[in-house]
């Protein structure tokens, strides 16, 4: 018996295309758009505090996270 070879088909083509798009986006974000200079301590602090607000819902958690950010920023400043 012979089987008819049809290739990937429509669904397989869409899956391969989605994977290629995801890989392309990853390369674009992490390789091409990588910062050329190291991030400043103040920018790192701002990003950390913003992340605290997004990820924590309770006030004590947010405060503790922001204190960790401040300690990290102080360490960063002392290294420079």
Token pair 């089987």: residue: 3
Report the pLDDT value the prediction gives residue 25, as an integer from 0 to 100: 92
The domain spans of the chain are 38-80
pTM, 2 dp? 0.51
Identify which has the larger pLDDT, 17 or 1: 17
Stretch 27-45: mean pLDDT, rounded? 78
Q: How many CB atoms lie within 10 A of CB 69?
A: 19
Between 63 and 4, whose confidence is greater?
63
The mean of the pLDDT values for the chain is 84
The three-class DSSP label of residue 51 is: helix
**Which pLDDT band, with edges at 50, 70 and 90, does 35 fall under?**
low
Mean pLDDT across the stretch 68-75? 93
Angstrom distance (rounded) from CA 69 to CA 52 = 9
* C-alpha distance across the termini of the chain, in Å: 74
């Amino acid at each position: 018996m012979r089987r008819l070879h049809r290739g990937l088909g429509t669904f397989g083509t869409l899956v391969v295309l989605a994977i290629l798009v995801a890989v392309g986006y990853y390369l674009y974000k992490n390789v091409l758009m990588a910062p050329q200079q190291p991030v400043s301590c103040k920018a790192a602090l701002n990003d950390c505090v913003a992340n605290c607000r997004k990820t924590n819902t309770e006030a004590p958690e947010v405060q503790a996270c922001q204190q960790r950010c401040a300690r990290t920023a102080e360490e960063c400043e002392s290294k420079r």
